[in-house]
Structure 1
Amino acid sequence: MTDDYMLKYVSDVHTGSNELTFDVAALRTTRLPHTPGWLTGESPEDQGIETGMPNLPQDLQLPPVEQIGFKARVRALGPATLRIQLAPADHQMWREPDCWPGIMTASTNGDPTCTVTSTDDVIRVELPEAELRIGTRPLTLSLYREGRLLMRTGQRLRQVAGFPMAPPALSCDESISLNLEMDTTEQIYGFGEQFSPLRKNGQRLVLEVNDALGTGTGRTYKPAPVWHSTNGYSAFINTGANVTADIGHERPSVLGLTLDDSGLDLIMFAAPTPEARLGDYTALTGTAKRPPLWAFGYWMGRCRYHSSTEMLEVGKRMREESIPADVLHLDPDWLIVDRLQTDYIWNEERFGNRKKFIDDLAELGLRLSMWEVPYLDPASPLFEEAESGGHLLRNPDGRLAHIEGTPTPDGRFRALFDLSRPETRAWILDKQRPFFDDGLAVIKTDFGEGCPPGAVSADGTPGNYIHNLYTLKYNGAIYDMIGDLTGRTPFVWARSGWAGSQRYPGQWGGDAESTVVGMQATLRGGLSYASCVPSFWSHDIGGFYGPELTPGLYIRWTQFGAFSPLMRAHGLRPREPWEFGEQALEVCRDWIRLRYSLLPYLWQVGREVETKGLPFIRPLCLEYPDDRVAIDIDDEYLFGHDLLVAPVMDDGTDPVTRSIYLPEGTWYDFFTDERFEGPGFIERKVSIEQLPVLVRDGAVIPRVDVDGSVRSTDDLLDRPWTVHVWDNGETDLSGLEGFDGTPEIAQVIKHG
């Protein structure tokens, strides 16, 4: 039998300058057998039970009238941001600093002034732009902006006999649940990378970092306990624990959130727009710094290239075919012990002298990206040094922790580096230093999802938090090391993530299947992730695995990649354009060149990501929150503020008809200047050479000329820009930021 309690009565209220504390009495409760509802030991009348109902369950066994205490604190973090903490008095959160457990980087996002007033039944916490009302008997929560109700807990929701179906807060063993009543037209989106439809109503999601083994398994690499409501609020649960989000799945009008933890740390954002709320969220959790220009170029990889000779041949062929490219990626074959582990021992037999290899790539205008994981094989010559140095995670009983959730190809366990330990970070940095001294550009921080719950880290991360937070610490540690070793803005290429991962860019969408549905899931996952973890995101062009990739799908996926924040082709089998026939080579080369021509525009969007906390790719509902159609559009997106992109999800080479939704306003075909008015759907017949891209009226799109002489982004640094303007009025270009200072503007071309 579980120990279940309903958090119900508020007492001992104290107010401070920007906070409120109080106690909550939680009553023993029982979930009714075979019927929905909860029952406490109070009298049926006090609980609101309809005792005269003919179908009232007979012989109700009231639980004992027992109670336990919870501690609560409500704080203003800014003009429209509130923090609600609710936990037993012995919970670790009460003993830790404000930014614990490491997801947050700041404890406020503006003036935290608030006013607290109270009556016998309601406590009001008034901020300049929001108000929280706390019911005291029973405990309830409701959030308002300018008198409009944005959110309330589920106290009103009962079944026919009066039993509550969604008590505002429940404690069950070592978990805590929050139940929110959803409005009749309320839609929910978010929860990090989710490969399901963008609108989450009707779904049940388990937010747990996983080696998802694809994009169609129901698992995800980068969940985040962050969501947005079309009712006008956003929220973030500051936790490392698993969270189960039931969005009207079990109970159609209830957003139920259950944490595998006894405490709740909920931050609510009530600014008027989703973009403003994302700005408030990233002011607390950090923004993504814009990476170097070369990171926005074309990347090519394969799992695996087996030698330096093979990679240099690919690089030379890129140049022979006049395909711009900036990075070649090297998966695990650079290691001697090369299966699911990293010990920093370079395989000279396969790749020769490392510096010479990197220099040879540089002669071709290419940089090297290199694969890494935070795991260590006991077969590695480095294992004894790592274990004796205290660099590996252990279990509470002192034994080495082993990865979970990812099979090992040889049956041996894999240990994990304790990246919360300063000495371990310094040890790894020392191992990596020779690589960066030789010219390594970037590390692909693969995996990281395998930390077992309960492992003990040096920084005291709770055992029920460490699994999900390990990926944040892993990517953060490598990101910081690259900054230390290079002296420039660092950059990684990460697969796993959690809330806060945006400050360690970039990330890619994991191992998609090489099918149309794999491409669809990839875009859905990217849009969902962008709405919660606004960073620099990408995907494996062509998918990573699965059926033989068709030339048609390869072209369509390349077009999608050209209009993605970062662009990389990668898979188990070759992904070079010439591998898919002459037509694919010609069409893909054109789209890659088009991407390079748009890098001045991408550079401006990158600045917006860093300074405003906005995502690079944006679901339409983020910028058009009042458009009731927009939330169901998850097969197109805004690329920055001014471009709308509608990828064609088809695996053939014949023309297809593409239905495109245009939000309110005037839009132009990016290539022909044909004018359209939104809101509404249009249909376009699209050949294999085409991708629907529309530009917003009033847009300013800087571009640079790209011809066959352009090998990489280095060749664009001194070229003048042409600014394309879809506006008949005067245009201010003073806000444009060049790659290295003020850009030289060769001409301005008016459209529309």
Structure 2
Amino acid sequence: MVTHLVSAVDSYSLSDAAVELQCRLETPGAATTDDDRTVPVRIRFYAPDVFRFEMLSTPENPTACSPISYDIDAVRRPVSLSATESDGTLRVETTALSLRIGLEEWAFEVRADGDRLLRERRDDRTAKGERRTQPLRFVEEEVNRWPLRVTETGTAFGLGPDERVFGLGEKFTDLDKRGRVIESWVTQPNGTETEFAHKNVPLYLSTRGYGLLADTARKTTFDFGASSSGTIDLRVEGDALRFFFFTGDRLKELLRRYTALTGRPHRPERWTFGVWMSRLSYQSRDELESVAETLREREIPCDVLHVDPYWMDIETICDLAWDEDAFPDPEAMIESLADRGFKLSLWEYPYVRVDSPLFEEFADRGYLVEDGTGSPYVLSRLSVDDRGGIVDFTDPDAREWWAERHRELAESGVDVFKLDFGEYLPRDAVLSNGKTGAAMRNRYPRLYYETVQDALRAAGRERPTLWVRSGWIGDQVFPIHWGGDPDTTFEAMAANLRGGLSLGLSGYPFWATDIGGFRGEPTPELYVRWAQWGLLGTSHARFHGTTPREPWHFGEDAEAIVRDYAKERYRLLPYLYSYAERAARTGLPVMRPLVLEFEDDPAARAIDTQYLLGEELLIAPILRPG
């Protein structure tokens, strides 16, 4: 590996709202430390307190542009830029910010009202003078025993003694990420006890009053003082380092700015805020209708029934076709459920089993992600023991096939789809758009969701409801997200809650838990404790797991408690709905960590097992037995 550091500015130019610098390089450890190349660094302002920083290590690349779309107009305000040069420092100033850039020796810092908000660290060294972290840089590796290619870019910023950082997506450990290494990479966490997550957002919000968003679709790693207690290290795969920087007096303002830039969700339909009942899985029409009848007989409020994979022939998934042996006359069933006040949700995943006749059809048409040889990329253990291929949503024809099936199902009366999975795109996969899995992994869920959302809109749904698991920058625009798949333990329940609160601090305002836990069978006590906060303390409430989750399976006492809490949720629906409307307008979450409302209270920064629903209701779940 060869690391190249930006060392000085060779030349610069200014426009009305941007500064472009051509920067010299040094290569520590090389026989000749100076590199005769220069790389461009561009800083463009969209508002006096919003700018985008970009360093391109291979500027010759004609596709050197951001892979993410942003609503720049939502944050754009007039910018008056001035620049002065003195003592080897270039000062670039707006009415809100002052950037100080070292010319003879590279340096970069951002100030507001005289306070330093952000400073690149070049002085983080051991007592022996060795660098602990590397400042603005890119890294090359040798390939085929001689040529070099760029593998990552990065930089390092100071981390203040009392600075706290929040965000990064649905992370299941402490809300404050200081002292942790966080990997932003859509993946399968297999539970809720690690930093791995389905929903990752390369964004952090600092108590110093700024937010930083890594503008990338590639794997990104943040080290918040874990390797060196006074340094934030940022590493991004690929040859471009881009980030947005924006300020705000409060965390709430930072969230508003971020969601204005990346998008806000529509307010979900009113019925989505009721109770959802599910398990893995109802396997027949008789079983589903029996549950519907029992819910009404026992006066347990419920608006949505969800059917996991067995609405299809399990051997041919995911062909999006009813198994009419198990669910005969589905349209009549849907009508019957609707007459009793139930909406219907159906499961899917973006894979096709090799046993399905659809696999051969999709392979022939080129609708599956390929392995680099022109063949479908076949994976085992896609869910449990199934083998199959990955639908290629960059292929317009594949996308249209998938959309047409959803239009048909929606027109037959299906109300919502649970879009499961989407995290398994291999790094070396090749998609129809010519990009690899390494470039598309974090964006794949969005293509999946867009396909279905657009199909529902085409079927006449003004505010399409999706129930989705994975996400990246901006994917909060596809409500509703849920935090799967926690184990049936008190520890997993607490971790799941932390994940939901962390996600709310990352721009996702709507979230639900698997009430009762997903894997295994909860004890009656755990089931009740989970239901209490799951019903009264989330934007959306769904019972779900690998064993039955209907209240009557846990004894009369548990059933009575859950019934009371479910009814209380329905009394709270106007309150929930009002905060859902605010969420759609502002990007602020319905579930609010205490630090969001009490930012000046140092104790609130460390509390991640109590929170507010909206601004008025404090939720304090019981997260231990006894």
TM-score (norm 1): 0.79
| 1:14–1:22 contact (8 Å) kept in structure 2 | yes
**Is 1:334–1:351's contact at 8 Å kept on the other side of the alignment?**
yes
Give the 5 Å matches for 1:54-203. 64-90=33-59, 95-96=64-65, 100-106=66-72, 109-119=75-85, 121-173=88-140, 174-203=151-180
Give the aligned partner of residue 659 of structure 1: none
Return 5+ residue gaps in structure 2 as ranges: 141-150
Give the secondary structure class of the aligned counterpart of 1:629. helix
For residue 9 of structure 1, what is the aligned residue in structure 2? 8
- Residue from 364, 370, 374 that aligns with 1:394: 370
Which of 308, 313, 318 matches 1:342?
Answer: 318
Structure 2 Cα separation of the partners of residues 376 and 63 of structure 1: 54
2:68/2:216 contact within 8 Å kept: no
Cα deviations across residues 647-697 of structure 1 (Å, max 9, x unaligned)? 111334xxxxxxxxxxxxxxxxxxxxxxxxxxxxxxxxxxxxxxxxxxxxx
Alignment-derived partner of residue 475 in structure 2: 501
Query: Using the alignment, how far apart are the partners of 1:114 and 1:133 within structure 2?
Result: 16
1-side partners of 2:368 and 2:434: how far apart?
14
- CA displacement at 1:199 relative to structure 2: 1.2
Q: Which residue, out of 229, 234, 259, partners 1:257?
A: 234
Q: Does 1:604 align with 2:578?
A: yes
1:380 aligns with 2:353: no
Match runs of 1:552-631 below 5 Å = 552-562=525-535, 563-631=537-605
* TM-aligned CA distance change 1:93 to 1:608, over 3 Å: farther
Q: CA deviation at 1:637?
A: 1.1
How far 1:629 sits from its partner (Å)?
A: 1.3
Kept in 2, the 8 Å contact 1:367–1:440? The answer is: yes
Q: What residue is the counterpart of 1:55 in the other structure? A: none
Note the 1:231-270 alignment, pairs <5 A.
231-270=208-247
Aligned to 1:742: none
Change in Cα spacing, 1:485 to 1:127, as seen in structure 2 (3 Å) is farther
- What SS does the corresponding residue of 1:29 show, helix, strand or coil? coil
2:293 aligns to what? Answer: 316
1:510 corresponding residue in structure 2: 484
Percent of aligned pairs with the same residue? 33
Q: What is the identity, as a one-letter code, of the residue corresponding to 1:552?
A: E
Does structure 2 conserve the Cα–Cα contact (< 8 Å) formed by 1:104 and 1:285? yes
Decide whether the 8 Å contact of 2:121 with 2:157 is kept in 1. Answer: yes
Higher RCO (Cα < 8 Å, 6 or more apart): 2
Greater CA drift, 326-335 or 612-621? 612-621
**Following superposition, which runs of at least 4 residues in structure 1 exceed 6 angstroms of deviation?**
none
Deviation (angstroms), 1:458: 3.7
Q: How does 1:393-432 map to 2 (within 5 A)?
A: 393-403=369-379, 407=382, 409-410=384-385, 412=387, 414-432=388-406
Question: Partner of 1:370 in structure 2?
Answer: 346
* 1:624, distance to aligned residue in structure 2 (A): 2.5
Provide the residue aligned with 1:704 in structure 2.
none
Partner amino acid for 2:93? Answer: E
C-alpha distance in structure 1 between counterparts of 2:443 and 2:331, whole Å? 35
Contact 2:269/2:463 (8 A) holds in 1: yes
Q: In structure 2, what is the equivalent of residue 328 of structure 1?
A: 305
1:305 to 2:304 alignment: no
Q: Please give the alpha-carbon distance, in whole angstroms, between the structure 1 residues aligned to 2:14 and 2:79.
A: 12
Q: Which deviates more, 152-161 or 13-22? A: 152-161
Largest Rg, 1 or 2: 1
1:152 and 1:618, CA in 2 relative to 1: closer, same or farther beyond 3 A? same
Q: Is 1:376–1:417's contact at 8 Å kept on the other side of the alignment? A: yes
Q: Per the alignment, do residues 567 and 391 of structure 1 end up closer, same or farther by CA in structure 2, a change over 3 Å counting?
A: same
Counterpart residue number, 2:422: 448
Alpha carbons of structure 1 residues 23 and 507: separation in structure 2 relative to 1, 3 Å: same
8 Å CA contact 1:329–1:369 kept in 2: the answer is: yes
User: Is residue 273 from structure 1 mapped to residue 239 from structure 2 by the alignment?
Assistant: no
Asked if the contact 1:116–1:123 (Cα under 8 Å) also holds between the matched residues in 2, the reply is: no
For residue 46 of structure 2, give the secondary structure of its aligned residue in structure 1. strand
TM-fit CA distance, 1:108: 5.6
d(CA) in 2 for partners of 1:527, 1:312? 35
- Opposite residue 400 of structure 1, the aligned amino acid is P
1:292 CA displacement: 0.3
TM-score by length of 2: 0.94
Shift of 1:512: 0.4
For the structure 1 residues 399 and 12, does the alpha-carbon distance in structure 2 shift closer, same or farther, using more than 3 Å as the test? farther
Letter in 2 for 1:136: L
**1:541 Cα deviation from its structure 2 partner:** 0.2
Change in 2 beyond 3 A, CA 1:531/1:461 = farther
CA distance in 1, matches of 2:300, 2:580: 24
- Which of these residues, 319, 323, 336, is aligned with residue 360 of structure 1? 336
Kindly tell me the number of residue pairs found equivalent between the two proteins: 614
Unpaired runs of at least 5, structure 1: 31-40, 42-61, 653-752
Cα deviation code 1:22-50 (max 9, x no counterpart): 112221124xxxxxxxxxx6xxxxxxxxx
Q: Verify the 8 A CA contact 1:202 1:252 in the aligned structure 2.
A: yes
Q: Is the 1:552–1:650 Cα contact (8 Å) retained in structure 2?
A: no
Distance (whole Å) between structure 1 residues aligned to residue 82 and residue 397 of structure 2: 46
Deviations 1:342-364 (A, max 9, x none): 11121001111110111121122
Q: Is the 8 A contact 1:620 1:631 kept in 2?
A: yes
Asked if 1 retains the 8 angstrom alpha-carbon contact of 2:493 and 2:623, the reply is yes
How far is 1:388 from its partner?
2.7
1:29–1:69 Cα change, 3 Å: same
Residue 574 of structure 1 aligns to a residue in which SS? Answer: coil
Residue 686 of structure 1 corresponds to: none
Instruction: Tell me what 1:549 maps to.
Output: 522
The one-letter code of the counterpart of 2:534 is G
Query: Match for 2:201: what amino acid?
Result: A
Deviation at 1:403, TM superposition (A): 4.7
* Structure 1 residue 463 displacement after superposition: 4.7
Q: Report the secondary structure of 2:402's partner residue.
A: helix
In structure 1, give the amino acid aligned to 2:40. Answer: K
Asked if the contact 1:538/1:566 (under 8 Å) is kept, the reply is yes
